[in-house]
Amino acid sequence: MTQTSDARAKRNVTVLVMAQAILGAQMPMIFTIGGLAGQSLAANACFATLPISLIVLGSMLSATPLSAIMQRFGRRAGFWVGAMGGAIGGLICIAGLYMASFPVFLLGSLCTGVYMSAQGFYRFAAADTASDDFRPKAISYVMAGGLASALLGPQLVKVAGGMIDSPSAIVSSFAGIYVFVVVLNVIGSALFLFLDIPKPPIPAEDAPVGRSRMGLLKTPRIAVAVICAMVSYALMNLVMTSTPLAVVGCGFEQNNAADVVSAHVVAMFLPSFFTGHLIARFGVEKIMATGLLILAGAGAVALSGVELEHFFVALILLGLGWNFGFIGATTMLAGAHEPHERGRMQGLNDLLVFGGVTFASLASGGLMNCSGGTPQDGWMAVNIAMVPFLALAGGALIWLMLRPETRAAE
């Protein structure tokens, strides 16, 4: 692919950045209030973060079917399916709030996960028409679109939180937020009309089949990319899911929790303006290693205190570490498989990544609410749980960097 062909890639990046900003605003909204709504609806506080877990589970279950849809019908079709899932999920969540039904609310959360899964493919779509030189920048720019969603989403939480007047405190607190979720999906889906990504060609009978899923996972660069993506995303979700519960549990307001989440999501996406350039200059392995170290720093700050400034600093570091780790892993993966292996590998990657995130979000509520007598004890347990997984990802990355072929390629 030549450098001049990046004109199409830049157009697609522009569309995907806008989609990340508009449609993506629903994710910080849902992650800010999902655990709080769950805590109000669930009979047992240990299940407070189950709605977020169901979102991630829905994302995991949707990853392979969405990847297959995109491989067969193109990216646009898959993104429309994702937006439809987000809108339907929002409507079901509204019904669950009015019915005060935790199971119905969980069903809506599960459907919302279809959108979350589709959003995960924006980064891969950015790479589809990009040259090798532009690819890390394209991925990085699309991820940077999340900066606008980080600013927009929590502000919509504040505006929509009391929008609906109802005798039910649960409805008046949360239903308006899900109305905005539905609107964002409906409006944002029109953006995909402007995507210009060719449908993958139907393979000829004698076309290369590519490696099996197990064969792909046995490739060292792919294996390490998947491990680092899983750990970066799962640990970010583990801590972020518990944060609103910890902030409110430590005596602060729901709006304080929204501000902390907003700062976190800004930190997740603001570095994306230069992460691609850093990868191009220093190499993807070094940027991924830096991300893992910053995640460790986030845990250390969180364990040092529960004042509001501790939450802000820890969550900002958490977002920055996720950015370096996850964009680095995505870049490594995008360059480690052939085009005809794209649908198989990308679907498998997101299945594994969101499987890890599902486990993390399930563990988050239990650690936060059921591992100690106070919110402070739960918050400490959440952050201590990061240690073994950071050790796993760090060890895998060091192993890859010490392999002879890796050193020769640097």
Is residue 204 a part of any domain in this protein? Answer: no
Structural domains counted in the chain = 1
Q: If we measure between CA atoms, which residue out of 263, 254, 84 comes closest to residue 181?
A: 84
Q: What pLDDT is stored for residue 15 in this prediction?
A: 94
Is residue 207 a part of any domain in this protein? Answer: no
Is residue 205 a part of any domain in this protein? Answer: no
Kindly calculate the radius of gyration of the chain based on its CA atoms and give it in whole angstroms.
20
Is residue 347 a part of any domain in this protein? Answer: yes
Using DSSP, state whether 201 is helix, strand or coil.
coil
**Contact predicate 64/78, CB 8 Å:** no
**CATH number, position 400:** 1.20.1250.20
Residue 150: which domain range? 3-198+212-409
Is residue 265 a part of any domain in this protein? Answer: yes
Rounded Cα distance between 121 and 195, Å, is: 14
Is residue 306 a part of any domain in this protein? Answer: yes
Rounded Cα distance between 208 and 170, Å, is: 55
Is residue 381 a part of any domain in this protein? Answer: yes
Q: What pLDDT is stored for residue 245 in this prediction?
A: 86
Render the burial of 82-121: b for 16+ CB within 10 Å, e for the rest.
bbbbbbbbbbbbbbbbeeeebebbbbbbbbbbbbbbbbbb
The two structure tokens encoding residue 363: 């563990």
pLDDT along the chain (410 residues), means of 10: 68 93 90 84 81 88 88 92 96 93 95 93 85 82 82 83 76 87 94 88 64 82 93 92 88 84 85 86 94 97 94 96 92 78 77 84 81 85 95 95 63
Place of tokens 């995505």: 330
* pTM: predicted TM-score of the whole model, two decimal places: 0.74
The Cα-based distances of 236 to 93, 317, 325, 403 in angstroms read: 24, 10, 10, 28
Is residue 376 a part of any domain in this protein? Answer: yes
